[in-house]
Amino acid sequence: MTEYIKTNFGLYNDENDPIYEGFYKPSDGRWNGWLQPYTDKSTFQKIVKDVFPESFIDEDDQEYWEDFKNQQPNKDGLYDVAWGICWMSEEDC
């Protein structure tokens, strides 16, 4: 896992948004300027609960978020939580 750098990240929409621990790979670059983080299983499950509660998901987007929720970890045991979400690292703030 030497290609990953540890980071704290969140949505930073307001002061009540949770901050998560995770990793990013500099080789991934950024998506439209946004961080592309990876997390362990427990953080991934927290993100699913915090960011995408069932009542929030639009019917048209249900399949997309089901795929997000049901993804398997990568070869390093980490979950990709980028998925077009506008994540920022603490260093971005």
Instruction: Check residue 58 and give its pLDDT.
Output: 67
pLDDT bucket at 66, cuts 50 / 70 / 90 = confident
Amino acid at 88: M
7-65: pLDDT as tens digits: 999 998 888 899 999 999 999 999 999 999 999 999 999 999 887 766 556 677 778 88
Domain ranges of the chain: 5-92
C-alpha to C-alpha distance for 1 and 39, rounded to whole angstroms: 12
Q: What count of other Cβ atoms lies within 10 Å of the Cβ of residue 37?
A: 28
- pTM (predicted TM-score): 0.87
Alpha helices (H) in 1-93, listed in sequence order: 41-51, 62-69
Average pLDDT over every residue of 57-82:
88
Q: Which residue has the tokens 């390093």?
A: 76
Cα within 13 Å of Cα(69), Cβ side:
15
CA distance 48 to 44: 6
